[in-house]
Amino acid sequence: MVVLAALVAASLTWMSAPYGRHARPRWGPLVPTRLAWIGMEMPALALFAAVILGGSQRSQTAVQLLAGAWLLHYAHRTLIYPLRIPASAKGYPLLIAAIGFIFNAYNAWLNAEQLAEYGQYGEAWLADGRLWLGLAVMTIGMVINVRADNVLLHLRGPGETGYRIPSGALHDQVASPNYFGEVLEWSGWALATWSLAGVAFALFTLANLGPRAVAHLRWYRQNFPDYPRERKALIPYVF
């Protein structure tokens, strides 16, 4: 996954993933956006839960705590977030949804196996500051991510598909505060699990969403002459 992250970062730097505002016609058939999100995120919820339940360390409290944090994120991403996208949304490329499904299955398996089979999360880990600091960073990241997505999902009136300049919930600082929150979440996960699987996922998230945040910022500047110049792409005041 670390190698994949490097390849993804390199590819997405010269070509943005073709969905949402960066959609392009030659990427094949579209499927309903809500269905695409539920389908491609489902392995991260269902497969992860199944692997944890079958894991030899499933009764460890720290394993349950960490699995709970993961499942909270993915219950929201798989079952709540998609239903908040308007049913009238313009559609999502089947190919991108299929790639998302495969990635989520691989990532869920990797992180769940690490957590419930190979990791060392006995009683001592419950007293380790890395667990609690990591969970705190994850929580802050999730709050930033959900608040930023909330703002975006309220920008359009019924049936509208155009774009406006967002404000509030860190949108005044960066073009993609939802991605900033997501990167924080999985950096927190890497710290709380202290695992190569966690680090790999955090790196992949940065590799995937960093270039997309840059593309979003460029797109806003090209399409809105009054887009505030001081806004950065991903990390407030920094990048």
Binding site for ligand NDP (CB under 6 A): 20-21, 85, 89-90, 145, 149, 152-153, 155-156, 163-164, 166, 176, 178-179, 182, 205, 208-209
Please report how close the Cβ of residue 165 comes to ligand NDP at its closest, in angstroms. 7
Torsion of CA 200, 113, 194, 131, to 10 degrees: 130
Cβ proximity to ligand NDP, 63 vs 217, nearer residue: 217
Please report how close the Cβ of residue 121 comes to ligand NDP at its closest, in angstroms. 23
Name the burial class of residue 120, with classes exposed (0-12), middle (13-18) and buried (19+) by CB atoms within 10 angstroms of its CB.
Answer: exposed
Distance CA 239, CA 60 (A): 39
Cβ proximity to ligand NDP, 36 vs 115, nearer residue: 36
Cβ proximity to ligand NDP, 74 vs 125, nearer residue: 74
Distances (CA, A) of 124 to 62, 120, 128, 152, 167: 9, 9, 7, 42, 44
Please report how close the Cβ of residue 186 comes to ligand NDP at its closest, in angstroms. 7
Please report how close the Cβ of residue 127 comes to ligand NDP at its closest, in angstroms. 30
Length of the chain: 239
Cβ proximity to ligand NDP, 67 vs 209, nearer residue: 209
What token pair was written down for 224? 């809105």
Cβ proximity to ligand NDP, 58 vs 84, nearer residue: 84
Amino acid at 199: V
Task: Select from 219, 225, 215, 213 the least CA-distant residue to 174.
Answer: 213
Please report how close the Cβ of residue 205 comes to ligand NDP at its closest, in angstroms. 4
Name the burial class of residue 161, with classes exposed (0-12), middle (13-18) and buried (19+) by CB atoms within 10 angstroms of its CB.
Answer: exposed
